[in-house]
């Protein structure tokens, strides 16, 4: 299966001109051998999405709400994102959980609205440093609890809607801002990803789960992650803003059969 690469720009870059220049880097980097998706902040997303089309470059929002219409100041409609030609949405990112108090119950409502509206959610799960320090069994328990809360009520959705959900394992402690750009060990990440995939199949009825790794992925460590076939792709933060990083990550992923 071709790797999926989702480049999360977070709240970057500062200006529309810089965003346009960054889009240009991606337009020149598209690859037939992997799926490339960019996730600019909303203020750039609308503008850049209108500048398409470049075949092979997908667009992803960084959030959506659990309703598509009504008295919800500041909310973004999943349906409107879909109608604007955006296919993906990141949900449950640890930065939203930490800074905006997002809970598994809120993530759950957003996921259900996203898939009901035709968007493909990229849902983030992962343990914090304190949990990580307690060892693998505690980490697995923590992740199982997150998944159970966030993926509730999926049974009434079709298999294709379920399979449209991409899961990202993003250990919070390994995100570049928290770790000083030090990633999880690829073998450990692959082990947790295998555990997540088993749960998705046995407890949630997924058929072909797609699970990405996120946390300090960069041009220096991408090759070592690629030697683990359990990892279906990557959710990239900091490196998504740098031309050399982008080009190397895409090239390495494309070279992997």
Return the number of the residue (162 or 238) whose C-beta is nearest ligand 13P.
238
- Extract long-range pairs of 104-109: CB within 8 Å, 24+ residues apart: 104/145, 104/146, 104/148, 104/149, 104/150, 105/149, 106/66, 107/149, 107/150, 108/149, 108/150, 108/151, 108/152, 108/153, 109/66
Binding-site member from 235, 246, 249, 250 for ligand 13P (CB under 6 A): 235
Name the segment binding ligand 13P (CB under 6 A); options: 20-28, 58-66, 128-136, 215-223: 215-223
Contact 158, 115 (CB under 8 A): no
Contact 139, 124 (CB under 8 A): no
Return the number of the residue (139 or 239) whose C-beta is nearest ligand 13P.
239
Position 126 contacts ligand 13P (CB under 6 A): no
Q: CA-CA distance, 37 to 6, in Å (whole number)? A: 5
Q: Which of 35, 95, 102, 170 is catalytic?
A: 170
Tell me, letter by letter, the H, E, C secondary structure of 91-112. Answer: ECCHHHHHHHCCCHHHHHHHHH
Contact 116, 77 (CB under 8 A): no
Position 176 contacts ligand 13P (CB under 6 A): yes
Instruction: Report helix, strand or coil for 130.
Output: helix
**Binding flags for ligand 13P, 64-103, as an x/- string (CB under 6 A):** -----------------------------x----------
The number of residues making up the chain comes to 257
Return the number of the residue (163 or 216) whose C-beta is nearest ligand 13P.
216
Position 236 contacts ligand 13P (CB under 6 A): yes
Catalytic site includes residue 99: no
Binding-site member from 19, 34, 217, 249 for ligand 13P (CB under 6 A): 217
Position 238 contacts ligand 13P (CB under 6 A): yes
Position 121 contacts ligand 13P (CB under 6 A): no
Position 171 contacts ligand 13P (CB under 6 A): no
The CA-atom distances, in angstroms, between 26 and each of 2, 53, 59, 166, 188 are 18, 12, 11, 21, 30
Q: Which of 93, 95, 102, 127 is catalytic?
A: 93
Return the number of the residue (68 or 146) whose C-beta is nearest ligand 13P.
146
Position 233 contacts ligand 13P (CB under 6 A): no
**Binding flags for ligand 13P, 185-214, as an x/- string (CB under 6 A):** -----------------------------x
- Cα-Cα-Cα-Cα dihedral of 48, 49, 51, 55, to 10°? 120
Q: CA-CA distance, 244 to 240, in Å (whole number)? A: 10
Return the number of the residue (175 or 222) whose C-beta is nearest ligand 13P.
175
Binding-site member from 112, 237, 250, 254 for ligand 13P (CB under 6 A): 237
Contact 24, 30 (CB under 8 A): no
| Residues recognised as catalytic | 93, 170
């Amino acid at each position: 299966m071709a790797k999926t690469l989702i480049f999360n720009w977070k709240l970057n870059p500062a200006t529309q001109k810089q965003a346009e220049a960054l889009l240009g880097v991606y337009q020149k980097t598209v690859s037939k051998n992997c799926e490339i998706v960019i996730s600019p902040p909303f203020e750039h997303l609308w503008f850049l999405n209108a500048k398409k089309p470049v075949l092979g470059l997908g667009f992803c929002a960084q959030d959506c709400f659990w309703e598509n219409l009504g008295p919800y100041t500041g909310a973004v409609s999943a349906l409107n994102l879909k109608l604007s030609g955006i296919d993906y949405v990141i949900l449950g990112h640890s930065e939203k959980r930490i800074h905006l108090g997002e809970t598994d119950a809120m993530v759950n409502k957003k996921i259900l609205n996203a898939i009901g509206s035709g968007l493909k959610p990229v849902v983030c799960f992962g343990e914090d440093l304190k949990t990580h320090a307690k060892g693998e069994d505690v980490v697995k328990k923590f992740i199982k609890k997150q998944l159970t809360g966030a993926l509730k009520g999926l049974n009434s959705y079709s298999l294709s809607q379920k399979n449209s959900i991409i899961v990202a394992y993003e250990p919070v402690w390994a995100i570049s801002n928290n770790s000083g750009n030090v990633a999880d060990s690829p073998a450990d990440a692959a082990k947790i990803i295998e555990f997540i995939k088993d749960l998705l199949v046995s407890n949630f009825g997924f058929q072909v789960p797609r699970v990405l790794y996120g946390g300090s992925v960069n041009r220096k460590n991408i090759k070592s992650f690629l030697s683990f076939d359990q990892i279906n792709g990557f959710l990239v933060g900091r490196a998504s803003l740098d031309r050399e990083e982008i080009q190397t990550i895409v090239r390495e992923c494309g070279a992997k059969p």
